[in-house]
Chain A
Amino acid sequence: MGLIKKVKKNFSSLWKGIFKKKVARIGIYGPPNAGKTTLANRIIRDWTGDAMGAVSEIPHETRRARRREGVTIESNGSKVTLDIVDTPGLATKIDFHDFMAHGMEEEEAKRRAKEATEGIIEAVKWLEDLDGVILVMDATEDPFTQVNVTVIGNMEARNLPLLIAANKIDLPESSPARIRSAFPQHPLVPISALDGQNIDTLYEEIADHFG
């Protein structure tokens, strides 16, 4: 690389560094089982061809935060590059008996409970290192939970962008409208992470809000 070119390149990255963060680090948050990993997998599959992590109907499947770097999303002419962090589902309680009810042996259930508590601590710590959050809610459930209130409150306190994904709209009992009326101050996109319904609208919003 010629000297001039090199200088130019350094200058342009300095320029970008000052005026626009190159890569936004976005956390996918929400209660257990909301569909965070299903959504992370879909985003990463759509834009890179890879996958992120395991999905399960048993809560607390994700017990370690996972980061995928450099996912570029293009929508409606805008283009953003994101680091996507899939986080363990947040909760204020963990009872190993709940895992036994899913057919696990006591020992395994206790181990999962322990790992789940560690995963939640990790997810909370990650909140401090993010540029924005996609808060995934199961639209068939009551949105006014402490977990949702806490995530939203923390992003508002830091003046960081938050996008609500009202997930599982393929289910007839889902109600994105209930979520919208609970948190009217934030942009919301109804989606099905499972079958991909309305996912393009989510990409538009991501490009808009995290660009």
Chain B
Amino acid sequence: MKRSQTISGDIMIGVQMDLISEDKLSRMTAMEKIRLILDGVKEGKILVLERGLTPSEEAKLIEMTMTEITPDDFAGIEIESYPSKQNQKLLDKLFKKPLIRTRLTVIGPANQLKTLKKDRDLISALVSSQY
């Protein structure tokens, strides 16, 4: 829970949500993205990535999350994304490294973001303000 001043000058209490553009993400290295995610989540933010992480970045994120879990402060992350899409053309599959198209991803603190339902095209989540 956070007390913040909005652009219009109001003081509001709530959960901060950062929506990060594909452009910004495409200029970042894997570690920069992971740092941005973990720092944000530890501050209690919900992050929405316009284009998510590649499978190998997701694996690294899980690893880094594990190294940062501490019993009383940080229990890890909740992350939900749509399965990435691959190059489906057979020739591309045979001769090139598969091109992976990552998709929208939502990440938050494990104790504040709960997935209600998820399928191929819809992610439904509950955000709680208690910290």
Contacts and interface: CB of A to CB of B under 8 A. Distances in A.
Interface string A82-110: 00000000111111100000000000001
A101 to B, nearest CB: 14
A121 B60 CA distance: 9
Contact of A121 (B56, B67, B78): B67
A179 B111 CA distance: 27
Given A92-B78, A113-B69, A153-B83, A124 B54 contact: no
Contacts of A146: 58, 79-81
Of B71, B98, B100, chain A has the most CB atoms within 10 Å of the CB of B71
16 contacts: A90-B62, A92-B110, A95-B76, A95-B111, A117-B69, A142-B118, A144-B120, A149-B81, A149-B82, A149-B84, A150-B55, A150-B58, A152-B83, A153-B100, A156-B55, A156-B86
Contacts of B60: 124
A204 B110 CA distance: 39
Interface residues of B, number: 33
Nearest to A127: B59
B66 A144 contact: no
Interface of B: 54-56, 58-60, 62-63, 65-67, 69, 71, 75-84, 86, 93, 98, 100, 110-111, 117-120
Interface in A121-135: 121, 124-125, 127
Contact of B56 (A94, A96, A142, A157): A157
A150 B82 CA distance: 10
Interface residues on A, range: 20 to 34
A7 B66 CA distance: 50
B107 to A, nearest CB: 9
A182 B110 contact: no
A154 interface: yes
A200 interface: no
B118 A144 contact: yes
Contacts of A117: 66-67, 69
A157 B83 contact: no
Contacts of A118: 66
Interface string A178-211: 0000110000000000000000000000000000
Contacts of B79: 92, 146
B76 A92 contact: yes
